[in-house]
Amino acid sequence: MIKRLLFTLTATLACAAASYGQISFTSVGTGVKTFDSAPVVADGWSTASFGASAGTYTTSNGLYTAVQNVTAGSVATVLPTSGTVPPSLNILGRYNTTLQRLQIRPTTSDYTVLMATIRNDSGADVPKITIAYQMSATVSNDSTIAESPELYGWKTFYSTSGAAGSWNIIPELSQPTTGTFTNDLSAVVNINGLWNAGGTLYILWADDNGPSSDTAPSKEGAYMLDNFSVTSPVIGVALTSPANNATFPNDFPVTLAAAANSEGPITSIDFRDGGTLLFNDAVPPYDFTTSTLSLGSHTLTAVSHDSLGNTHTSAAITITIHPNQPPVISSLANTLGATSFYVGSNLTYNALATDDGAITNVDFFVDGVRRWTRATAPYQYVWSDLVAGSHTLIAVAADYKGLKVTNSSSLTVTNPPNITPLLANGSLWKYWDEGVDPGATWKAIGFNDAGWSNGIAEIGYGDEDANRPEITVSRRIVGTPGDPSAITNAPSSSAPISRCRTPPFSLELLFD
């Protein structure tokens, strides 16, 4: 009787082991796993480490090959726990009780893995899934680490058998990552074969042990996983651009873009205007740009095709093409909010320009002379060389069709009281920017500067990125001074050999 009882217990334990560690996947997926508490045996999470050395793998391919030796049965340790922040080194993956996340930060191993075991309880074979989770790192990889950057982060695989050699890489979840970050990741995975009803799916995260992680200070990154879910992607296609009820001026480029999931891999997507095929795109990402839509209303759809011959049609959206209108400059004002200034002031003017299509550029004119052009917002001009007198600033905005609009602002500039300008803004200077030293006598009043260039101040280069252009742009020297090939007109942070003279003074100026 005792032996019979023991036999019965053994059979019961064997049955319990068959359902060990499986996350249930139903018709609505697994639900989101938030890890509010440490995973237990039945929760379907396990870990293992392989090898015993740091720095064994130096390439992604080396780690990929090593993972092919893993069997799901060998990843059988329930996750231990740790409350250390940032996560400390450990040979196994663990549950962080403080951060409530799963973590890997290898030590004394070639690599460490974390595995989710999922059972298909949906009642149907599943051809594809969407895997989503939040990945974060609280310890940056040291920039001097000998580990190849391609091995930063972890590499993610799946298998429907868990057998050695069956692991499929998931590229979207295996990108190199470094530093301190929190990223929401997702990937649509076409199952190699099918995930059969009642079958098991294994998802494996592998992190190599960097070559310096076993020494202090540690240089191995700590990576964590949270808010994990697996779902079946929605079958169908949708237009993601343009927005429904959007309007565009005529001849303006309109981009149509679509996203699709189907029973089989997507082979192409048709973009249609009513019954007219606009474009068939066979290369992802699926999009198409046209500027030939006629005036009036258009009903747009996308039709997806897959390798199994299935087609799906998106919900229709409506857009309207209207006659192009000129741009508008609703405001042209300086940030100081005044109209009277002293010489020496720096005024930043903002032109608030909009268009029903696109602004191509905004030109700024000072007293009728164009001083600055901006091709992208914010449309700003820094007026930094004011001279005494009354002035008018005009901004001219142009759109993609060449239609223009202007706006203007007037101001009065005076010299500061009790100050005598030594060298006034806008003075005519003679300058030497040939990259060759003109000799020590250039400073003398009687020096013959007939061969020098001349221009109105401000003279220089390099302020374009600050929206503060010079009136006269000098050349710069790159390479060896004296070499004609070293002279260029392009801006640079390199300082040229430049000297300026304005009678009756002689000054040496180094432009930087």
Instruction: Summarize pLDDT for 223-261 with one digit per residue, the tens.
Output: 999 999 999 888 899 999 999 999 999 999 999 999 998
Q: Is the pLDDT of residue 399 over 80?
A: yes
> What's residue 286's pLDDT?
95
Task: Give how far the C-alpha of residue 147 lies from the chain's centroid of Cα atoms, to the nearest Å.
Answer: 24
Q: Is the pLDDT of residue 140 over 80?
A: no
Q: Which one, of 430, 429, 433, lies nearest residue 495 by Cα?
A: 433
Q: Is the pLDDT of residue 397 over 70?
A: yes
Task: Name the CA dihedral angle for 55, 57, 60, 61, rounded to a multiple of 10 degrees.
Answer: 170
381: burial class by Cβ within 10 Å (0-12, 13-18, 19+)?
Answer: buried
pLDDT, mean of residues 182-193: 91
pLDDT tens per residue, range 255-303? 999 999 888 889 999 999 999 999 999 998 999 999 999 999 999 999 9
Q: Which residue has the tokens 């039709």?
A: 303
pLDDT tens per residue, range 188-212? 898 988 899 999 999 999 999 887 6
pLDDT tens per residue, range 329-344? 999 999 899 999 998 8
pLDDT band at residue 426 under the 50/70/90 scheme:
confident
Q: Report how far residue 335's alpha carbon sits from residue 482's, in angstroms, rounded to the nearest whole number.
A: 44
Q: Which residue has the tokens 């013959």?
A: 448
Q: What is the C-alpha R_g of the chain?
A: 34
pLDDT band at residue 450 under the 50/70/90 scheme:
confident
> What's residue 462's pLDDT?
60
Q: Which one, of 136, 145, 118, 153, lies nearest residue 44 by Cα?
A: 118
Both tokens of 196, joined, read 């059969």
Cis peptide before 217 (omega within 30 of 0): yes
pLDDT tens per residue, range 73-125? 999 999 999 999 989 899 999 999 999 999 999 999 999 999 999 999 999 88
> What's residue 470's pLDDT?
73
Both tokens of 97, joined, read 């009780």
Q: Is the pLDDT of residue 496 over 70?
A: no
Domains of the chain: 19-231 (2.60.120.260), 236-322 (2.60.40.10), 328-414 (2.60.40.10), 428-507 (no CATH)
pLDDT band at residue 493 under the 50/70/90 scheme:
very low
pLDDT band at residue 476 under the 50/70/90 scheme:
low
Give the range among 73-77, 405-409, 439-443 with minimum mean pLDDT: 439-443
Q: Is the pLDDT of residue 15 over 80?
A: no
Task: Name the CA dihedral angle for 56, 58, 60, 61, rounded to a multiple of 10 degrees.
Answer: -80
> What's residue 213's pLDDT?
57
pLDDT, mean of residues 391-413: 96
Give the strands of the sheet with 287-290, arranged side by side: 236-241, 254-261, 287-290
Q: Is the pLDDT of residue 480 over 50?
A: no
% of the chain with per-residue pLDDT over 90: 58
Q: Provide the whole-model pTM.
A: 0.56
Both tokens of 476, joined, read 């710069």
> What's residue 14's pLDDT?
31
pLDDT band at residue 504 under the 50/70/90 scheme:
very low
pLDDT tens per residue, range 341-382? 998 888 999 999 999 999 999 999 999 999 999 999 999 999
> What's residue 429's pLDDT?
82
pLDDT band at residue 384 under the 50/70/90 scheme:
confident
Which residues are within 8 A (CB) of 165 and not within 5 positions of it... i.e. 6 or more apart?
Answer: 68
Q: Report how far residue 212's alpha carbon sits from residue 1's, in angstroms, rounded to the nearest whole number.
A: 60
Q: Report how far residue 122's alpha carbon sits from residue 196's, in angstroms, rounded to the nearest whole number.
A: 10
> What's residue 454's pLDDT?
84
Overall size of the chain counted in residues: 512
Give the range among 20-24, 416-420, 438-442, 462-466 with minimum mean pLDDT: 462-466
> What's residue 510's pLDDT?
40
> What's residue 215's pLDDT?
54
Average pLDDT score over the chain: 85
Q: How many CB atoms lie within 10 A of CB 301?
A: 19
> What's residue 164's pLDDT?
97
